[in-house]
Amino acid sequence: MSPFSSESAWLCLAATSVLGGMLLCRSKSPGQWRRQMLCLAGLWGGACLLSLSLLCSLLLLSLGCFLLYVSSSDQELLPVDQKAVLVTGSDSGFGHALAKNLDKLGFTVFAGVLDEAGPGAEELRKTCSERLSVLQMDVTKPEQIKDTLSKVTEKIKDKGLWAVVNNAGIINFPIDGELIPMTSYRKCMAVNFFGTVEVTKTFLPLLRKSKGRLVNISSTAGRIPFQMMAAYISTKAAITMFSSVMRIELSKWGVKVITIQPGGFKTNIFGSPDTWDKMEMEILEHLSKEMQEDYGRDYVRAHKNHLLTMRDLSGSDITPVLRDIELAISAKNPSPFYAPGKMAYLWICLEAYFPTTVCDFVMQRYFGPKHIPRALRDSRF
């Protein structure tokens, strides 16, 4: 007898098709529908492993589609209506492109930059409308953050500040956590995490007044233990947890908190060869005699090429990131998390659902350093 001979099976198949179609229609973000399809595929795979009948499998899948539809975010965009947005780290990368994009969409944009006389700031002034204001804002300097608050408040008056996008960030030299100088740990934490917290605390009164959006740029690396990035990914993990707590606490005020966890994208966060040389010299200067014997200075120098590899493997099209940030700012009911980028959500699922030993094996096999410390290299002979 055909598995589709019963009316119940046809009914479940029809319900699954309708709900699946509604999910695709609602999911304007590619990242969102990929996550949903991955969840449904996992559900179907689980049903197959349990050797459920076709009718039960379709019923389970239909129920899964229904629950995903009910819980999925509504991607209907709210009108711009002269909404004001503050973006930190607008000198280059995501922040620079986002400031331009929001200006084109009609938002009033406050572009916080590290250097108001730098090329990034000058380009924003030349290419954007008068709605965009370039403001000197080093997120590690509270006085500059307060000065920005005064200027933003003066300009928006009673219109309110709709959104804050905490984007400013830096990365460390890729090397074993034992070799990363404490100055690098502190600098990464100061910019990436404490800067985000300081900006958030300063501008929250305006966001609570407008019942607006707090958008924090974290990273897939904040969930995945990538080797040689201990300083950077620790700060991103801190941002992710900080955002999750704030999302719950600020819900009573009507403020939505969204975390963006991009995969690998090619931006200026990787720095220039001069920057790499300085970071390399800082590490070499802090090497103790014991570390020089165990690791070797050549081990440190060899890792500079890893930055080039990271940059080359990163995607050059940052459109997915900009699209998800726009949804976070403008969607009627945005998702709490967005993971733009190829394989980004898959890596998060790998870490969340697979045994730690499997994740560690993958990290060591595919992302481990190609070079071996001197002591381990010598012990082979």
For 152-199, give the secondary structure using H, E and C: HHHHHCCCCCCEEEECCCCCCCCCCCCCCCHHHHHHHHHHHHHHHHHH
Token pair 């990034």 in the structure block, residue? 120
Q: What is the pLDDT of residue 119?
A: 95
If phi > 0 it is left, if psi is from -120 to 50 it is alpha, else beta; for residue 69 that is alpha
22 pLDDT higher than 80: no
Summarised one tens digit per residue, pLDDT across range 236-277 is 999 999 999 999 999 999 999 999 999 877 677 666 677 778
Among 69, 232, 338, 345, the active-site one is: 232
Q: What is the pLDDT of residue 311?
A: 66
Q: How far is CA 184 from CA 32, 238, 339, 369, in A?
A: 35, 16, 26, 20
Alpha carbon distance 236, 224 (integer Å):
10
Instruction: Say which residue, 57 or 376, is predicted with more confidence.
Output: 376
If phi > 0 it is left, if psi is from -120 to 50 it is alpha, else beta; for residue 84 that is beta
**Mean pLDDT, the chain, whole residue set:** 82
| Residue 310 pLDDT grade (very low, low, confident, very high; cuts 50, 70, 90) | low
293: its two tokens: 């014997």
Summarised one tens digit per residue, pLDDT across range 320-338 is 999 999 999 999 999 999 9
125 pLDDT higher than 70: yes
Q: What is the pLDDT of residue 47?
A: 47
Summarised one tens digit per residue, pLDDT across range 68-79 is 555 555 568 899
Q: What is the pLDDT of residue 341?
A: 83
Q: What is the pLDDT of residue 44?
A: 46
φ/ψ of residue 86, rounded to 5: -105, 130
Say whether 337 sits in a helix, a strand or coil: strand
Alpha carbon distance 277, 282 (integer Å):
9
What domains, with CATH codes, occur in the chain? Answer: 7-72 (no CATH), 78-267+316-356 (3.40.50.720)
| Residue 8 pLDDT grade (very low, low, confident, very high; cuts 50, 70, 90) | low
| Residue 4 pLDDT grade (very low, low, confident, very high; cuts 50, 70, 90) | very low
* Residue 222 host element (H or E): none
Q: Are 222 and 239 in contact (CB under 8 A)?
A: yes
316: its two tokens: 């050059």
Statement: the pTM of the whole predicted model exceeds 0.85: no
Active site residue 232: yes
206 pLDDT higher than 90: yes
Instruction: Say which residue, 59 or 192, is predicted with more confidence.
Output: 192
| Residue 232 pLDDT grade (very low, low, confident, very high; cuts 50, 70, 90) | very high
Q: Show Cβ contacts of residue 156 under 8 Å, excluding neighbours closer than 6 positions.
A: 84, 108, 206
Q: What is the pLDDT of residue 231?
A: 95
